[in-house]
Amino acid sequence: MIINVSAKKAFGLALILLFVTFLSVAGHAAINMEIQYNAGERRDPMTPLIGPDGLLAFDKSSANPLDINIEGIMVDSGGDSVVIINGEVYKTGDTINDANIVQILNDRILLVQEDEEKTIWLREEIAAS
């Protein structure tokens, strides 16, 4: 049996075969690729909130090591933002628990303590996520 295939059809079939081979190799490489998530100071969203013992797996003490409870934030576009922490009013540049407040944002404050930047969130739900 002799198959008569024109040059155009042969070229097209070769391209299709090459494309399928490429997809196969690329798909195999993608399957073996490791995905890494940098959670920063936030909880890894792929980690369950409930541990195997049925209790909350999130350690609240690690989210706020300075024991700071933000009760409110008032942001002023002019730079006079204030934050209410543990019943006291603070502004940028003030110090609390040996940490310097460097920035007050809508939902969190940024602190520096011993050359390490820390983020304290307004709501516990945000810190836990």
Q: Is the alpha carbon torsion for 118, 103, 88, 112 positive or negative?
A: positive
Report helix, strand or coil for 70: strand
Phi, psi of 22 (to 5 degrees): -60, -45
Q: Is the pLDDT of residue 127 over 50?
A: no
Model pLDDT for residues 7-61, shown as the tens digit of each residue = 788 888 888 988 888 877 766 655 666 777 676 667 677 777 777 777 666 554 4
CA–CA separation, 26 vs 103, rounded Å?
45
Q: Tell me which residue of 60, 86, 43 sits closest to 109, measured CA to CA.
A: 86
- What is the domain partition of the chain in residue ranges? 60-128
CATH 2.30.30.830 correct for 60-128: yes
What's the CA angle centered on 110, arms 108 and 116, to 5 degrees?
140
Chain mean pLDDT for the chain: 78
Phi, psi of 72 (to 5 degrees): -175, 155
Give the C-alpha distances (Å, rounded to integers) separating 4 from 7, 15, 61, 85.
Answer: 10, 18, 76, 84
Rounded percentage of the chain residues whose pLDDT exceeds 90: 23
